Amino acid sequence: MKIIDFSLYLVTDQHLCLGRSILDVVMDAVAGGVSIVQIREKNSDARNFFQLAGAIKKKLEGTGVPLIINDRVDVALAVGADGVHVGQSDLPCSVVREMIGPDKILGVSINTLEQIHEAKNDAVDYLSLSPVFPTPTKTDTTEPFGIEGLKKARQLTERPLITIGGIDKDNLGEIISSGMNGAAVVSAICSAASPKAAAMELASIILESRR
pLDDT in tens, 11-49: 999 999 999 999 999 999 999 999 999 999 888 899 999
Q: What are the angstrom distances between the C-alpha of 20 and each of 61, 65, 120, 181?
A: 22, 21, 40, 30
Instruction: Give the residues across from 127 on adjacent strands.
Output: 108, 161
Mean pLDDT of 185-201: 98
Please give the domain boundaries of the chain with CATH numbers for all domains.
8-210 (3.20.20.70)
Which positions are catalytic?
A: 40, 109, 138
State how far the Cα of 7 lies from the Cα of 210, in Å rounded to an integer: 10
Cβ-contact 66, 107 below 8 angstroms = no
- Does the structure show a pLDDT above 70 at 62? yes
pLDDT in tens, 50-59: 999 999 999 9
Mean pLDDT of 155-169: 97
What's the pTM value of the predicted model, to 2 decimals?
A: 0.95
- Does the structure show a pLDDT above 70 at 137? no
Mean pLDDT taken over the chain: 95
- Does the structure show a pLDDT above 60 at 138? no
- Expressed in percent and rounded to 5, the helix, strand and coil fractions of the chain are 40, 15, 45
User: According to the model, what pLDDT value does residue 211 have?
Assistant: 83
pLDDT in tens, 66-93: 999 999 999 999 999 999 999 999 999 9
Cβ-contact 71, 86 below 8 angstroms = yes
